[in-house]
Structure 1
Amino acid sequence: MIKKIKLLNKDEIYAILGVQDRNLKALEKEFKITVTISYDDENGDAELSLNGLHSRVDKAYAKIQKNLDILRVPPAPNASAEEKVPFAGGVVFRPAHASPVKPRTQNQNEYIKLIWDRDLIICTGPAGTGKTFLAAACALRALQLGMTGKIVVTRPIVEAGEKLGFLPGDINEKVDPYLRPVYDAFQAMLGAERFNALRDAAVIEIVPLAYMRGRTLENAFIILDEAQNASPEQIKMFLTRMGLNSKIIVTGDITQIDLPSSKQSGLISVKKILGKVPQIGFFEFENADIVRHPLVKEIIQAYDKWEKKCK
């Protein structure tokens, strides 16, 4: 049996095929079918032909169509012109299943404005101030508006406790716990199904920082989380991945450095090195901006006092 499905543009082609056709190869392996693709260079679209047993082709077709349906979700029909621009009405991102994401402090408000204004932002501050969550919300809004083609989020993998080599599973399973907080943020705003579809289609990519070497990221919204655990060399390597029409947000908390005492945090040195570059935005949150459980603010303040006494 042969079944055909149309991919309407290069974004859909990239999303369904994946990097070096990895998604397509995985689909063929999963359903034991053969997939061929014919391109129309003039119109910029393509057509997939799924060939194999009837039941397997139907299941593969349904999986592709489901991912396309998620990718093709149109804007709300009654959305106002104001809602079609970034940060309209104080709303950063409007999830389909949850309350709108809005800044909850004046500093969060200023942070979001800086994200839209600059292509490179270095943001520091204590846990719970929304550094990464708001950056992710801005990334989703940019994707929704067609201002970017993909979202890339990366973290340095710093071992604290068990060694990676002793954890069970392959390399992806070993690093998954380190990236789980980023998954949680996107799932909170997208829902698990849509997040998984966008991740499978490589529209949202979440990878360890070590995997960034040698890449150039164009038309992308890129977030480096937990940057306090990256070395100066890693920060330099990451920042130079920036391609045309891309935006980079670097976030971290210099009070929670997990690097060995002999290693310097690149987040501390980056302002000294790049502080005089006018196109780069620097932002710092305070304890007053913590928006988690009220106890979090009390805990951080108590630890700050204790650490000052110990010095």
Structure 2
Amino acid sequence: MNQEYESEGKLTMSSADMGVASMSGRLRVASPPALLNVLGHNDEHLRILERAFVRSRILIRGDEITVEGPDATVVIQLFSELLAIADRGDAIEPQTLQRAIDMVEADASPRDVTDIELARSRSGKPVRPKTIGQRRYVEAIGANTITFGIGPAGTGKSYLAVALAVAALQEKRINRIILTRPAVEAGERLGFLPGDLNAKVDPYLRPLYDALYDLMDPETVTRLFERQVIEVAPLAFMRGRTLNSSFIILDEAQNTTSGQMKMFLTRIGFGSKAVVTGDVTQIDLTSGRSGLMDVERTLTGIDGVSFVRLDSRDVVRNPIVTAIVDAYDRSEAEASRS
């Protein structure tokens, strides 16, 4: 059962300098196990918070948290949010903590951003949006027929799309899942690769396969492939088809041409939903302009089509990936100015 965490704050004056105001706040904890989850093993998370808010002092005595300093209001709000997340059974990890800090500083509520459970992994772990951008992305997919998720690697574009597709299939809102991707490295000519069509396309769709196997047991995935409930196909094989009652995911769409993008989007039939993912900073086309670069200008304003942009704040991989994405963004911005 979720607990409500009540906080109180007050404005006090520093005895050392009556001209400088400092804030203090208190929060009473209703669930000691939730507090242990928030503080982390050997207070690992508490040390992260102390480093993030060096101007404030965090005191924990029994079931009461006291924060003194100019960031007291923010820190108390952060503790309240984290305790609510822990109380619903979610594990608090260092990455969770950092994302929660970013959200609270942006005047967003981490518990509200992450309160949607999209699916459960094979291990029973709930799959939720983890950032503000991911929440917008998930909501856009639910509300629109075609959603474009554009952003750097590690922002969960493909994984969340697969999770929503699996949930839609399990709830019988669709009849099949179709995964496709332009096989740029093979020039769309896959004949020289060994095996049947699935084997030829496998290397290009491995991230989507990984997501499927994380969400369903291998036997179920194999059975669904055999029955063609889950289908994979290179983009070139989509021409001439009409895809009804399907959840279609076009991955790595930055490597489509404008003609291929138009061909794909016009395959969508009744009762279907499409998610198009891509990163415009990783275009591998050797000639021509990326279809993903042009499509937003072309389709903006059409009802049922949504564009969601994710950035380094939405990266949910190793924190170094965020730093790498930011470094490349700065480098490209400097190059464009010179």
TM bracket (short chain)? 0.5 to 0.7
Q: C-alpha offsets along residues 159-190 of structure 1, whole Å, 9 cap, x if unaligned?
A: 179x9566555554333211212111111111
Give the 3 Å change call, closer, same or farther, for CA 147–282 of structure 1 in structure 2.
Answer: same
> Aligned with 2:177: secondary structure?
strand
Offset at residue 289 of structure 1 (A): 0.4
Offset at residue 150 of structure 1 (A): 0.7
Alpha-carbon separation, structure 1, partners of 2:323 and 2:190: 33
Give the 3 Å change call, closer, same or farther, for CA 164–221 of structure 1 in structure 2.
Answer: closer
Equivalent position of 1:197 in the other structure: 223
1:120-159 equivalences in 2 (<5 Å)? 120-159=146-185
Runs of 4+ in 1 over 4 A off after TM superposition: 163-172
Alpha-carbon separation, structure 1, partners of 2:173 and 2:192: 42
1:32-111 equivalences in 2 (<5 Å)? 90-111=116-137
Q: C-alpha offsets along residues 114-145 of structure 1, whole Å, 9 cap, x if unaligned?
A: 11111111120111111111011111111111
Alpha-carbon separation, structure 2, partners of 1:214 and 1:149: 20
Indicate conservation of the 8 Å contact 2:118/2:127, yes or no.
yes
Equivalent position of 2:264 in the other structure: 238
**Structure 1 alignment gaps of length 5 or more:** 1-86
Equivalent position of 1:247 in the other structure: 273
Indicate conservation of the 8 Å contact 2:197/2:233, yes or no.
no
Offset at residue 211 of structure 1 (A): 1.1
1:269-308 equivalences in 2 (<5 Å)? 269-308=294-333
Offset at residue 286 of structure 1 (A): 1.3
TM-score (norm 1): 0.67
> Aligned with 1:291: secondary structure?
coil
Q: C-alpha offsets along residues 86-111 of structure 1, whole Å, 9 cap, x if unaligned?
A: x9951001234331111111111121
Alpha-carbon separation, structure 2, partners of 1:89 and 1:287: 22
Equivalent position of 2:292 in the other structure: 267
Give the 3 Å change call, closer, same or farther, for CA 111–258 of structure 1 in structure 2.
Answer: same
Indicate conservation of the 8 Å contact 1:98/1:189, yes or no.
no
Indicate conservation of the 8 Å contact 2:141/2:147, yes or no.
yes
TM-score (norm 2): 0.62
Q: Which structure is richer in relative contact order (CA contacts within 8 A, separation 6 or more)?
A: 1
Offset at residue 298 of structure 1 (A): 1.1
Alpha-carbon separation, structure 2, partners of 1:132 and 1:301: 21
Q: C-alpha offsets along residues 165-223 of structure 1, whole Å, 9 cap, x if unaligned?
A: 66555554333211212111111111322211111111111211111111111111111
Larger radius of gyration: 2
Give the 3 Å change call, closer, same or farther, for CA 243–88 of structure 1 in structure 2.
Answer: farther
Amino acid aligned to 2:308: F
Give the 3 Å change call, closer, same or farther, for CA 245–160 of structure 1 in structure 2.
Answer: closer
After the TM superposition, which of the residue ranges 298-307 and 264-273 deviates more from structure 2?
Answer: 298-307
Indicate conservation of the 8 Å contact 1:179/1:207, yes or no.
no
Q: C-alpha offsets along residues 51-91 of structure 1, whole Å, 9 cap, x if unaligned?
A: xxxxxxxxxxxxxxxxxxxxxxxxxxxxxxxxxxxx99510
